[in-house]
């Protein structure tokens, strides 16, 4: 038997990417591992996942499984934008801050970031395209995240209003849904319901219990061109795609996406409640999904992180704050351990 190279009893709050793979997803991969099937997406698992998603958004929908969220975003934006276009996003957007300029470097895409309170790009913040101005990149796509990088969530009504404004301005709407399951669970709706109005969606699975599985969902075929080719060019086409699609089926055909997201969201709320009770600790943002952004007294975060059993990061978009992410597998004991570690350093 192979022993793990890590302490399997440790649970960290640095990222929901730290979490392992849900047992039901591992089982789905094992089930898909028998015999030979066609490669590059011509397999029954990919076809069935497409049927599931078409049940959400309609028969016109196309699904393109990919390896990771950055790849999903780059493929989506490449397919949506003409050469002269730019993508409008918030300054805190993942495509703007945490993807090593992949949209620019890999996709040749200019981003147009705007300040957005609470991480939400509201209709009044839109910059509309000017067809008579040839001197600047023209906004053609609006890209937003749900949940946002500040842990806030668009309600279905908020998202629908934004989509209406985007379309009225003659633009298309891209949704970075790396944590779409958390947003949907927070609103008590399905991922499809919280994403209604999006033209293209980067659907996340990895942060919610998958091994490495995301998807580009094209709801509006008129919003894209050449998606299949761009996925290949961008090195996001899996040869043994059945193993990516089997993970997505395990998450989204039933209710595993909801169970995992509800647990992560609930643990984040509990962590926030416990931290707010500590002297000198502030939790300024309402906890809507699985992210907590406490502001700790100066020096406390570094002292806590000096212990190898606790990992988390500062969060520059909120000066003085740290980001704590709960996961599908975060146990009560991990919350207790972190709160005790912070309490011990408060002096």
- Per-residue pLDDT tens for 187-236? 999 999 999 999 999 999 999 999 999 999 999 999 999 999 999 999 99
Question: Over 90: is that where the pLDDT of 3 sits?
Answer: no
Q: For a pLDDT cut of 90, what percent of the chain falls above it? A: 87
Question: How far is 211 from 214, CA to CA, in rounded Å?
Answer: 10
Question: Over 80: is that where the pLDDT of 180 sits?
Answer: yes
- Give first-to-last CA distance, the chain, whole Å: 45
Domain residue extents for the chain: 23-252, 256-346
Q: Which fold has domain 256-346?
A: 3.90.1150
127 CA to centre of own chain: 24
pTM of the model: 0.96
If one looks up domain 23-252 in CATH, what number appears?
3.40.640.10
Q: Between the CA of residue 221 and those of 58, 159, 172, 224, 260, what are the distances in Å?
A: 11, 20, 11, 6, 31
Q: For a pLDDT cut of 70, what percent of the chain falls above it? A: 100
């Amino acid at each position: 038997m192979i022993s793990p190279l890590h302490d399997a009893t440790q649970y960290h709050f640095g990222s929901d990417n730290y979490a392992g793979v849900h047992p039901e997803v591992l089982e789905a991969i094992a089930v898909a591992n028998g015999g030979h099937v066609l490669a590059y997406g011509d397999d029954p698992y990919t076809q069935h996942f497409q049927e599931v998603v078409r049940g959400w958004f309609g028969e016109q929908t196309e699904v393109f499984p990919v390896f990771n969220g950055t790849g999903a975003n780059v493929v989506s934006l490449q397919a949506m934008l003409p050469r002269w276009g730019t993508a409008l996003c918030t300054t805190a957007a993942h495509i703007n801050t945490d993807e090593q300029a992949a949209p620019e470097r890999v996709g040749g895409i200019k981003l147009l970031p705007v300040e957005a309170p609470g991480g939400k790009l509201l209709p009044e913040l839109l910059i509309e395209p000017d067809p008579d101005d040839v001197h600047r990149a023209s906004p053609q796509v609006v890209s937003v995240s749900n949940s946002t990088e500040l842990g806030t969530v668009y309600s279905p009504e908020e998202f629908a209003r934004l989509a209406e404004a985007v379309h009225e301005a003659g633009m298309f709407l891209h949704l970075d849904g790396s944590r779409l399951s958390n947003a949907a669970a927070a609103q008590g709706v399905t991922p499809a319901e919280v994403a209604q109005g999006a033209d293209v969606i980067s659907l996340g699975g990895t942060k919610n219990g998958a091994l490495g599985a995301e998807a580009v969902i094209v709801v509006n075929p008129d919003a894209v061109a050449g998606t299949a080719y761009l996925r290949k060019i961008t090195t996001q086409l899996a040869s043994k795609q059945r193993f990516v699609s089997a993970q997505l089926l395990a998450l989204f055909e039933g209710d595993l996406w909801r169970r995992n997201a509800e647990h992560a969201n609930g643990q984040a709320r509990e962590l926030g409640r416990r931290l707010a009770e500590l002297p000198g600790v502030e939790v300024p943002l309402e906890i809507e999904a699985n992210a907590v952004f406490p502001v700790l007294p100066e020096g406390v975060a570094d002292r806590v992180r000096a212990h190898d059993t606790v990992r988390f990061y500062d969060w520059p978009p909120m000066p003085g704050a740290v980001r704590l992410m709960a996961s599908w597998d975060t146990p009560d004991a991990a919350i207790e351990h972190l709160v005790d570690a912070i309490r011990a350093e408060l002096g």
